[in-house]
Structures are given as structure tokens and as C-alpha cells.
Structure 1
């Protein structure tokens, strides 16, 4: 880590373009999530949480409520209320799959998972096209870069959370 001030640092045009591109992706992803919310007839925060639960399940790495809370930036209490709504509506199933019976695992209900897949199939056509037509070497370079950026952001998050007077989400 350097002591450079990112607000006054002289960034190259390509560095600036990358940062603008990352910001634009976040904005586009947020809009995509709002469309998913409308598709599922859920509030945006509930659709975001359900999307995180589905992504984790698809990666065979189901989330706990505490992990979900950190990912969506809500307190554990607020996340519990949100999960109660999703469970009552039949979107999420809480189970105890670990030897430690206190540990709760979140899984999408099969019908909600399939409805989200239908949405992705319809809404993600352009994204899928870009992924299919981008050369593998370019995809590997982007994946490596994004992993490094994610690690950097996680490091900054840990540093900020540990700072005196910080307020963690």
C-alpha cells in the first residue's frame, strides 16, 4: 500500500477508464437487481439478499445469516427480519446442515431459484454474449484483476472497520 492520495494522484487515462468502468458496472448491476426485484415482486433489499443466497448456492457455498448480513451491509437484526419475510413468502429455506446444529444455512427455495434462473436467461442475454465471445486469455486477465481489486477493497474495509471511531455496517 502506498501513501498516495487517490483524489489528487495523477492517474493514467487507462487507470481512470478502469475506475469509471468499475463504477459503471456497479450502477448497471444495481439496475439489473432492481429489475430482478420487480420480476420477483420483492423490495430491492429482499431481491438483493435473495440474489446473494442464490449465487452462493449456485457456487455450492451457501451463506449463513451473518455472512449474508455482511454482504448486503445490514445489521444482523435487520437481516433476520428480512430473512423472516423471505422465508414467510416461500423464497428462502433455513436449515441446519452442519455438525454444529447452531449454524444456520440459507438456501433458495427451488421455485424461487428457478424463477431467478428464468429472469437471468431473459435479462442476461447480452452479458452471456460478451462472456461467450471474449477470448479466454482476456477473461483470465480480467478475473485476475477483479480478484486483486476485490482483495484490495476487502483490505480497505478491514482497515476502516478497525479504525478508532469507525461505524461498521
Structure 2
């Protein structure tokens, strides 16, 4: 932790622009999640969770309930209730795929995955275009920056968790 006071620090225009850009991305992503919720006729928290489950499965690293709880910022108990709703509605399947049969893996049901594909065909084209048109070198720089700023935010969160 540094001794800098973020409220009185003299920030450069580029630093301010980045912070505003991160804020604007967060707002735009939240708006897209609201659209996904409407598209799937789910509460926003359920749509967000389902989106995380689908994305993780698509990348070949399906989530456990504990990992999902961390990603969506809910307690494990609240996440279990949410997962029960999604499973009852036919949106996800819980399975035991690892050698440790206690470990539950979350996978989207085929219909939920297809519904998400239809949503992304409408909502994801511009984002995909930006990603495709950005050079690998620039993507590495952005990814590195995002890793560092996320680690800093995580560290602040841990410090706040430990603070009375």
C-alpha cells in the first residue's frame, strides 16, 4: 500500500481517462447484463450467473458453485438458492466430473447455451469486432493492465475485509 491519498492526488489526464473508461465499461457491461436478463426472462442476478456459467464452459474451464459465488459477489448460500432456481428452470446442469466426487461442476443446459448464442448474435457483434481488430500486442498490454488493476482492487478488498 502506498501513502498516496487518491482524493487529493494530482492525476494525469491519461490516468483520469482510463478510470473513466473503466467506469464506462462497467456501466455498459451492466446494461448488457440487464438486456440479457430481459432476453432470458430471468432476474439480473440469475442472468449474470448463467452468463458466467456459459462463458466458463465455453472456455473449457467450468465453474464450481464456490467459484461462481466469488465471481458474482454473493454468499455461497445465496448462490445455492440461485443455482437451484436455474436448475429447476432447466438452464443448468450440476455434475460431478472430477476424481473428487464431492466437487460439483456447473454447465449450461443445451437450450440455455443456444439461447445465449442467439443473444450474443444480436448483442456481441460490436464487441467481437473490437477484439478481432485489436492487435495481439495491444491486447496483451490491456490484459496486463487489467490484471494489475484487478489485483490492486482485490488487495484493497482483502484489506477492507480484515479492517474492523
State the TM bucket, normalised to the shorter chain: over 0.9
Instruction: Name the counterpart of 1:79.
Output: 79
Moved more, 54-63 or 35-44: 54-63
Distance 2:55 2:156 in 1: 24
Deviations 1:114-147, CA, capped at 9 Å, x for gaps: 1111111211111111112223322221111111
Q: Does 1:12 align with 2:34?
A: no
The number of residue pairs the alignment matches comes to 164
Instruction: Name the counterpart of 1:67.
Output: 67
Deviation at 1:160, TM superposition (A): 2.0
Q: How does 1:1-169 map to 2 (within 5 A)?
A: 1-163=1-163, 165=164
Structure 2 residues without counterparts, runs of 5 or longer: none
Q: With the length of structure 2 as denominator, give the TM-score of the two structures.
A: 0.94
Deviation at 1:158, TM superposition (A): 2.0
Distance 1:66 1:132 in 2: 32
Deviation at 1:159, TM superposition (A): 2.1
SS of equivalent to 2:106: strand
CA-atom RMSD, angstroms? 1.2
